[in-house]
Structure 1
Amino acid sequence: MSCTAVTAHRAQLGEGPFWDVPTQALYWVNIAGKQALRLMGGHLQIWQLPEHVSAFIPCESGGALVTLSSGVYRLDLETEALTLLCVADPQPGNRGNEARCDARGRLWLGTMQNNIGEQGEDLPITRRSGGLFRIDADAQVTPLLQGLGIPNTLLWSEDGTQVHFGDSMDGTLYRHVIQEGGQLDPAQVWFGPHARGGPDGSAMDSQGYVWNARWDGSCLLRLTPDGAVERVIELPVSRPTSCVFGGPNLTTLYITSAASPLDHPLDGAVLAIEVDVPGKPCHRFAG
C-alpha cells in the first residue's frame, strides 16, 4: 500500500481525524500545537486555539466542537469565537484526549492527566485520574467511567449495544456492553498488549473490523470482530495516532501521526492510503 502525505503540515501531536461526509472535508487536531485543522477542497485552514485541543468535530447546527483543556466549546468557524458548551471533567489538571460522536450524535469524551507542557514538552503521568463522559446535544453530561490512564479508541457496534474503548496505559482495547439506561457494564478485554507498539486511536470498517493505530509501532493492525490480527499495515511514520475512513466512497484511510525521537521525514503528517473495504461514516455532534 502506498502512503502519501495530504498536506505539508507536520504536527507535534496529530490526533482525532474526522471525515465530514456532507462537505467532503477532513478535520483533525495538533494537540500540542493548540491547532484545529480542516482540509476541504484542497485548501488547508488552521484555527489557532488558546489551549491544547484533542478533537474538532462539526455540529449539525453549524460551527464545530473543540475539546479544550478547560472544557468543551463551540467554535464559530468564521469569527473564531469560542463559547463554552460544558465542563465534562471537573478534575483539576486533566485534559481531553479521545472524543467521538455515536450514531445519535452524542459526544463521548475520554480525559486524562495532562501530559503536555505549555511549550509542547512532555510531562510525566503520575495518576490515573481520567474518565469517560457522554455529552448530549443539550449539553447534559453523564459520567461513564473513572480511573483511566490514557483513553483511546471509541467505536460502537452496528446496533449500538457495545462500545470499543481502549486505555493505552494498559496496552489494551476493551469492549463494554451499553446498558439500556446508557451506563456501561464492566470492561471485557478485547485485544491485549501486542509487540507492535501501544494502542492508540481506531476506525471501524463496514465489515466490523477495527483498524488500530500503534503508537511507536509504525503500523496499523486490522483486527477481526473477535479481536484477532487479520493484517498489519506498515507505515512510514514512527507514531501513528489514529485513523478515519474518508473520500467519496469511504475507501481512503486517513492516518494522523506525531513527532518522534526517530525523526522520520513523515512523522507528524496526515497520511492517506487507499484500502479494499469501505469504512463507516463519522457522525456530527447533534447540537
Structure 2
Amino acid sequence: MSVLVEGLAYPEGPCFDDAGVLHFVELAGGCVGKVVNGEKVVVAEVPGSPNGAAFDHRGRLWWCNNGGNWGPNASTGHRPGLGGGPGLIQRLEADGSVTDVITATSGGQPLNSPNDLAFDAEGGLWFTDPVWARRDPTGSAPAAASPPGRLCYAGPDEVAVPVATGLSFPNGLALVPGERALIVGETGTGRLLRHEILGPGRLGPAEVWSELGDESFPDGLCFTASGRLVVAGTGSGTLFVVGPDGRLQERRPMDDIDVTNVCFGGPGHRSLYVTQAALGRIEVLEWPEPGARLPGR
C-alpha cells in the first residue's frame, strides 16, 4: 500500500474521470479536488460540505452536499461540522461553475443531508439522504440515534423522488454488477440492504443482504468484477469484503479508524483507492482482482 496524497481535511468521494484522473472531495475543506502528480489541485470551492461523488455518463462530476456535517477527527483539528446549510445534489459544469441540480424532492420537501450517489445504466441517479442525530458533548452524532433517513431517485428530468424510507442513516450505495439490484449500507445498524430495481425509480422491498454488525459502520462501497463488495467501515478502521452471497469473507484492518470510501482504478482497474478521513489522505492498495466497471462508463 502507498499514500497517494495527504494533507486533506476529511476526504471522501473518490472517483475517476474518463482520462483516469482521481477526483475527491473534502468535507471539512469545502472543496472538490483532483490528484495531479501526487499533489492536490482544487477544482471547485464548495460551501457546505461535499460528500459522496460520481461521474455521470456524459463525464460530468456530481456530488452530494450534506450541508456542513462531519464528525470531529484529527484532520479537522477535532472540530465537528455542525450542519445548518441546505442539503443539495450539485454538479460541476464545463466552465468550472457549480450548479445546484437538486434541492428538494418532487413534493417540495427539502433534502436532509445527502451522503452518497450512484448512476445506473440508464443514467438514473440514486442517492442516500440520511438525517444527522443530535450531537453528543464531543461533537459526534451517533448514527444509530439518527432519525429515519431515505433513499431517493432522479431521472433525466432531475426531479428527485423518495423511493425508500425509514432507513437508519443510509450511507454508501452501489449497483450490483450485471444485475438490476442496488445495495445500500445502513451505518446505524451495520446492515447492507438489497433492493431489486424494477424500473426507473422503482424498487422491490428491501431485504437484509448482509449483517456486518453494529460496530462496522458501513460507509462507501464498491464492487469487484466477480461481484464481491468492498465496504469502508468508518469508525471501525476496517475494510470489509462481502461475497456475492452476502457472506462476510474478509476483514482488512486499516491504519485509519475513519476509512470513508473506496473505488477502483489504475492499470487494469486493479488498484483500490481508499479515503482516510482522520489521517487526511488517500491510500492505494493493490487488489487481487479488478474492480467492476461502473454502469455506463
Q: If the TM-score is normalised by the length of the shorter chain, which range does it land in?
A: 0.7 to 0.9
Give the aligned residue type for 2:167.
L
Partner Cα distance (1:150, 1:195) in 2: 12
Contact kept in structure 2, 1:11 and 1:257, CA below 8 Å: no
Aligned to 2:160: 141
C-alpha spacing 1:192/1:155, structure 2 compared with 1 (3 Å): same
C-alpha spacing 1:88/1:27, structure 2 compared with 1 (3 Å): farther
The answer to whether 1:192 aligns with 2:211 is: yes
The answer to whether 1:216 aligns with 2:216 is: no
Work out which of the residue numbers 244, 247, 256 in structure 1 matches 2:266.
247
Give unpaired runs (5+ residues) of structure 2: 68-85
- Give the number of the structure with larger relative contact order, counting CA–CA contacts within 8 Å between residues 6 or more apart: 1
How many Å apart are 1:5 and its aligned residue? 1.5
Give the aligned residue type for 2:20.
Q
Percent identity, aligned pairs only? 26
Partner Cα distance (2:201, 2:214) in 1: 34
How many Å apart are 1:50 and its aligned residue? 1.3
Aligned to 1:28: 24
Work out which of the residue numbers 82, 85, 107 in structure 1 matches 2:98.
82
Aligned to 1:8: 6
For 1:245-279, what per-residue CA distance to the aligned partner results, in whole angstroms no more than 9, with x for missing partners? 110211000011222xxxxxxx2211101011000
Aligned to 1:262: none
Contact kept in structure 1, 2:104 and 2:111, CA below 8 Å: no
Counterpart mapping for 1:202-281 below 5 A: 202-259=221-278, 267-281=279-293
C-alpha spacing 1:280/1:73, structure 2 compared with 1 (3 Å): same
C-alpha spacing 1:193/1:268, structure 2 compared with 1 (3 Å): same
Give unpaired runs (5+ residues) of structure 1: 260-266
Contact kept in structure 1, 2:60 and 2:93, CA below 8 Å: yes
Per the alignment, in what secondary structure is the counterpart of residue 116 of structure 2?
Answer: strand
Normalised by the length of structure 1, the TM-score is: 0.83
Per the alignment, in what secondary structure is the counterpart of residue 178 of structure 1?
Answer: strand
Per the alignment, in what secondary structure is the counterpart of residue 97 of structure 1?
Answer: coil
Contact kept in structure 1, 2:25 and 2:31, CA below 8 Å: yes
Partner Cα distance (2:121, 2:164) in 1: 20
Work out which of the residue numbers 104, 127, 130 in structure 2 matches 1:109.
127
Two-structure CA RMSD over aligned residues (Å): 2.7
C-alpha spacing 1:123/1:170, structure 2 compared with 1 (3 Å): closer
Normalised by the length of structure 2, the TM-score is: 0.80
Counterpart mapping for 1:163-178 below 5 A: 163-178=182-197
Partner Cα distance (1:108, 1:124) in 2: 24
How many Å apart are 1:41 and its aligned residue? 5.0
